[in-house]
Amino acid sequence: MTAATPLRLACLDADAPPLFSLWSAENGRTGFEPAVADLLGTELGRPVEWVRVPWAEMIPTVQAHGADAVLCGQGITSTRQAQVDFTRPYAIFHESVLVRRGACVTSAAHLVGRRVAAIDGSTNMALAQTFEGALLVPFGNDGSDDVYGDMLAALEAGAVDAVVDDDVVFVPLGENDPRFEVAFTVETGNRWGIGVAKDRPDLLAELDRALAGVVADGRHRTAWDTWLPTLDYPFAEA
């Protein structure tokens, strides 16, 4: 493998700031995750190449070596660990519940009998499953390129009553969005990692060392503070 070999990273092609933007030929992708990817590419001396696939196809694409790794909202769960191996976390987020403004929801108890959307198989769905009496509505199994957008559209249209996702994805909505409001946040401390096929341990070690390096020298924190200034940096020294 030469230094010029691209680092191929799988992610869905969607507009989900501040995490990532839609890909364009002129600007590529921007956001926190692309910034982390660029840091890793620089550390490894490899250009980053995005392999854009639907959410449900990201891990299978990596398993089939259609991409080197997944760097796209992957909470480190036991289910995913059975499919791929993960680097150390590059982010730690909590989870929030979004509702239509004025819905008078402030706790899980208010979700009894209400339709709650989350990405199927995600840490968000695992949290939703703890909401006793909620009617769960899974998203992401239809091959959509914009699962997050689909859930917001369903919430706005009244097809669902709440959406569970990581707190970071609701940041752009702010506190004054006329359509939605964050009902409550659960401090789950979900660790997000870069997923690599189990038969590529050398690549996993290479990415993990690169990530450790950019965290240690402060470049990772600079990216965090640039894109996620309202969220506490989770890797600060004690």
Where residue 99 sits, what CATH number does that domain have?
3.40.190.10
Distance between CA atoms of 115 and 105, rounded to whole angstroms? 13
Query: Within the chain, what is the greatest distance between any pair of CA atoms?
Result: 57
pLDDT of the residue at 206: 98
pLDDT digits (tens, 9 = 90+) for 98-156: 999 999 999 999 999 999 999 998 889 999 999 999 999 999 888 777 888 899 999 99
pLDDT digits (tens, 9 = 90+) for 31-65: 999 999 999 999 999 999 999 999 889 999 999 99
Q: Is 79 found in the same domain as 16? A: yes
pLDDT of the residue at 238: 40
By C-alpha distance, which of 168, 196, 164 is closest to 33?
Answer: 168
Please give the share of the chain, as a percent, with pLDDT higher than 70.
Answer: 98
Domain count, the chain: 2
Is the predicted pLDDT of residue 15 greater than 80, yes or no? Answer: yes
Q: Is 112 found in the same domain as 79? A: no
Q: Is 117 found in the same domain as 76? A: no
156 in a structural domain: yes
In Å, how far are 108, 154, 160, 209 from 114, measured between CA atoms?
A: 10, 13, 8, 45
pLDDT of the residue at 194: 98
What number is the average pLDDT over the span 185-200?
96
Q: Is 107 found in the same domain as 21? A: no
* Strands 195-197 and 69-70, bridge-based pairing: antiparallel
Q: Is 202 found in the same domain as 185? A: no
Distance between CA atoms of 138 and 18, rounded to whole angstroms? 23
pLDDT of the residue at 1: 46
2 in a structural domain: no
Q: Is 204 found in the same domain as 185? A: no
131 in a structural domain: yes
Residue 96 DSSP SS3: strand
Q: Is 207 found in the same domain as 136? A: no
Strand order in the sheet with 195-197: 48-52, 7-11, 69-70, 195-197, 84-86
φ/ψ bin of 143: left (φ > 0), alpha (ψ from -120 to 50), beta (otherwise)? left
116 in a structural domain: yes
Q: Is 165 found in the same domain as 109? A: yes
Is the predicted pLDDT of residue 201 greater than 70, yes or no? Answer: yes
pLDDT digits (tens, 9 = 90+) for 147-180: 888 999 999 999 999 999 999 989 888 788 999 9
Domain range enclosing 123: 93-189
Q: Is 67 found in the same domain as 30? A: yes
pLDDT of the residue at 233: 95
Instruction: Compute the C-alpha angle 34/156/133, nearest 5°.
Output: 95
Q: Is 173 found in the same domain as 112? A: yes
- Residue 131's beta-bridge partner residues? none
Exposure letters 127-164 (e unless 16+ CB within 10 A, then b): bbeebeebbebebbeeebebbbebbbebbeeeebbbbb
Q: Is 103 found in the same domain as 56? A: no
For the entire predicted model, the pTM comes to 0.80
Q: Is 183 found in the same domain as 111? A: yes
The residue among 161 and 16 whose pLDDT is bigger is 161
